[in-house]
Amino acid sequence: MSRLRVLAFSISLDGFGAGPGQDLEHPLGVGGPELFEWLFPTRTFQEMHGSGGGETGVDDEVAARGFENIGAWILGRNMFGPVRGPWPDESWRGWWGEEPPYHVPVFVLTRHPRAPLAMKGGTVFHFVTEGIEAALARARAAAGDRDVRLGGGVATIRQYLQARLVDELHLAISPVLLGQGEHLLGGLDLRALGYACTRHIAGSRAAAHVFLEKRQG
């Protein structure tokens, strides 16, 4: 069965996965972009969002691997956009412009129904109102024998971890202190939930990349 994977998810040295005060001007929260200073210069990121070029090396390799063999994504609603409550209209089409970097079906968790939204390049946003297990079932069906990537944000990853539905969690530890924000692991006992660190590699700009996996059984 396809695996549910969190890949290249950035946390600060003090454990935050996003800064405080997320809104339209601060999609990653205040200070949040510092979490991604390891990622922005990579060739993978630059090819997707920038002008091309970019750095190769460990950070780029792990960023690139995050897009390999992925047949569907799951995102929390706040990762899709800053709109809260019922959708006022269909004008919000994601943070990424007309051609988002997913190129596969993306399942967005929300309590408010909305018709699917097909974008350029193969990305189709599906809005799932039936909860995290339903979203995972639909994403797996869409992914076929490929894996499902859980993109975030923090609250969504925490829900899936608590339910022991995440198979693999790759964290990029950024060499920054945020001080405040959304803490990824606070109050979650990952060890009791069956997770263990199976591998770690040094980053270039990232302090380290660590790989957690759910033990079988």
**Under the criterion CB under 8 A, does residue 157 sit at the interface with its own copies?**
no
Cβ partners under 8 Å of residue 132, min gap 6: 74, 109, 156, 159, 160, 163, 165
173 is a contact residue toward its own copies (CB under 8 A): yes
Residue 180 is a binding residue for its own copies (CB under 8 A):
yes
122 scored as a contact of its own copies (CB under 8 A): no
Token reading at 126: 């599906």
State which residue, 140 or 214, has the beta carbon closest to its own copies.
214
Q: Is 84 in the site for its own copies (CB under 8 A)?
A: no
> Which residue from 47, 148, 28, 142 is spatially nearest to 99, judged by alpha carbons?
47
Verify binding: residue 212, its own copies, rule CB under 8 A.
yes
- Which residue shows structure tokens 């596969």? 104
Q: Can you tell me the distance from the alpha carbon of 129 to that of 149, in angstroms, rounded to the nearest whole number?
A: 19
The answer to whether 44 and 58 have CB atoms below 8 angstroms apart is no
The answer to whether residues 142 and 72 touch, using CB atoms and an 8 Å cutoff, is yes
Out of 39, 132, 171, 172, which residue is the one contacting its own copies (CB under 8 A)?
Answer: 171
Identified binder of its own copies from the candidate list 130, 177, 214, 216, rule CB under 8 A: 177
Please say which residue, 83 or 207, places its beta carbon nearer to its own copies: 207
Which residues bind to its own copies, rule: CB under 8 A?
13-15, 31, 171, 173, 175-180, 183, 185-186, 188-193, 195-197, 199-200, 202-203, 207-208, 210, 212
